[in-house]
Amino acid sequence: MNRVLVREIPQYIGNEVLLKGWVHQLRRLGKINFLLLRDRSGIVQTVILDPTIDLSKIDQESVVAIWGIPKKEAQAPGGIEVEVKRIELIEQAQSPLPFEVNRPLELLNIKLDTILDHRAFALRHPKINAIFKIEAELVHAFREFLRKEDFLEIHTSKIISQGTEGGTNLFPIQYFETQAYLAQSPQFYKQMMVGAGYERVFEVGFVYRAEDHATSRHINEYLSLDFEMGFIDSEKDIIDLEIRLLRYIFESIKKNCANELKLYEVDLPTIEFIPQIQFKEAREILKKYYRKELLTSDDLDPEAERLLCDYAQKEFNSEFIFVTNYPISARPFYTMPYDETYSRGFDLLYRGMEVTTGSQRIHNYQLLVNNMAKFGLNPQDFEFYLEIFRYGMPPHGGLAIGAERLTQQILGLKNIREASLFPRDRYRLVP
RNA sequence: GGGCUCGUGGUGUAGCCUGGUCUAACACGUCGCCCUGUCACGGCGAAGAUCGCCAGUUCAAAUCUGGUCGAGCCCGCCA
């Protein structure tokens, strides 16, 4: 007999099915017992009326096979339940469990640390499980949209000899007899692939930041959603594409993850218009509406990001806001200047947090080399990157989206670690 | 790198300020018995923690002090 998934049960009303899964909950009332069975597709109530069926070894979270007949039953959750004919214990779960996974998370109030210490087990909780279905859909939609836009998916090395910005935040690794580093960004390689003639490329991959921070929005290994495209007129082309990309991602999640969104009581907005303000305007807005002076003259602090999103919400009814034309001093050397002071670099803020950084890049070889010198970098160390710029580089630009951050903000998670299966931070290397 | 907060059964908390009556409480879970419609099932009973670790103060430490290890948040920096 072939296994039937929980979500397929409605097709089998009146016919015996074989179900396999985990015992989500067992409610023993005496002569009638209810067993909630969970598989990858959902949870179904089964009812045990036959007193000869032995439930003594059937503990919560045990793996079982159940033969039974699906029936319409008004009293059952969802209107359908399976009357059990036979139950077989496949693998018993030890007791006690690390914590409960069959009650609302809000009632359990489990510490994040406990969840992460028991990560695989914790994912059995439907609400925790849902996070990674959303994230998978997000990444899938990112790929699907860009492929439709004629982008090529690339996979570049995460083992590098030089950092993008000079080498401060890099994790050193021993690479045979030489020193190497874990990549903090696919930046150089994706630009090189534009120059290689692919024009439009994207990459989904982990990147590594050896920053000694401990906050709810930083992890040391995160999934970077990158794209880079050639023959643009300005960074506005990148921004326009990102708006369409986000619209596509949000619509995909809404369409394919309705149940998961419901668990978090999230109602994703339809993205129509995203306001764009220049950095210097942002500074004025902060001063005028919030009486806030930026402590650093060339970047936004977290409070400023929250305030600007508040402004976007009130003025434009948007949860997103682009901050454009950041000061040159706040941006890496490859960022295209806008004028003497400002660059063609931008950030996207979403619900108070930075989720994207992008820019038009410098495509002129001489300008790029001169800029490296200004930033105190030695062009000879970056010859591998610079070469293609000598042989005809089109105007280009791109951006990177932090996948965990976007997921965190979509679901309103308190800590980015919740959106990473196996987060790596200053103190966590296991599991 | 700077600042603040927290470590008590499997899970989450109370107790700590104002040491003794803490032989450590409560909720959920676990185990046993009862229950034919539960769905945060219900009822009765039971087990389970030397209060992160080390030292000190004291007649007496979960409680005070110092150290140590672990955790969380904010800032800098960033996605």
Q: What's the pLDDT band for A188 if we cut at 50, 70, 90?
A: very high
Residue with smallest Cα–C1' gap to B43: A29
| CA–CA dist A260, A264 (Å, integer) | 7
ipTM over 0.90: no
Q: What is the pLDDT of residue A390?
A: 96
Measuring from the CA of residue A212 to each C1', which nucleotide is nearest?
B1
| Residue A257 CA, nucleotide B12 C1', distance (Å) | 30
Q: What's the pLDDT band for A411 if we cut at 50, 70, 90?
A: very high
Question: A10-65: per-residue pLDDT in tens?
Answer: 999 999 999 999 999 999 998 899 999 999 999 999 999 998 898 888 999 999 99
Is the predicted pLDDT of residue A240 greater than 90, yes or no? yes
A81 forms beta bridges with A45, A71
Task: Share the mean pLDDT of chain A.
Answer: 91
> Taking a C-beta distance cutoff of 8 angstroms, is the pair A46, A82 a contact?
yes
Is the predicted pLDDT of residue A167 greater than 50, yes or no? no
Measuring from the CA of residue A420 to each C1', which nucleotide is nearest?
B79
Question: A260-282: per-residue pLDDT in tens?
Answer: 999 998 888 889 899 999 998 99
Percent of chain A with pLDDT over 70: 98
The listed CATH number (1.10.600.10, 3.30.70.260, 2.40.50.140, 1.20.120.530) that belongs to domain A6-91: 2.40.50.140
| Residue A361 CA, nucleotide B39 C1', distance (Å) | 58
Which positions on strand B lie below 7 Å from a protein C-beta?
1-3, 10-13, 28-32, 34-42, 70-79
> Taking a C-beta distance cutoff of 8 angstroms, is the pair A62, A89 a contact?
yes
Comparing A297 with A164, which gets the higher pLDDT?
A297
| Residue A427 CA, nucleotide B70 C1', distance (Å) | 10
Torsions phi, psi for A159 (to 5 deg): -110, 115
Q: What is the pLDDT of residue A165?
A: 57
A405's enclosing H/E stretch is helix A403-411
Structure tokens at A161: 């000899």
Is the predicted pLDDT of residue A324 greater than 50, yes or no? yes
* Rounded (5°) CA angle A329-A334-A338: 60
Question: A95-122: per-residue pLDDT in tens?
Answer: 788 999 998 888 888 888 899 989 999 9
Measuring from the CA of residue A224 to each C1', which nucleotide is nearest?
B79
Is the C-alpha dihedral spanning A232, A237, A241, A246 positive or negative? Answer: positive
CATH code given to domain A126-419: 3.30.930.10
Measuring from the CA of residue A331 to each C1', which nucleotide is nearest?
B78
Residue ranges of domains in chain A? 6-91, 126-419
Q: Rounded to 5, what percent of chain A is helix, strand, coil?
A: 35, 25, 35
> Taking a C-beta distance cutoff of 8 angstroms, is the pair A343, A337 a contact?
yes
Neighbours of A25 (CB within 10 A): 17
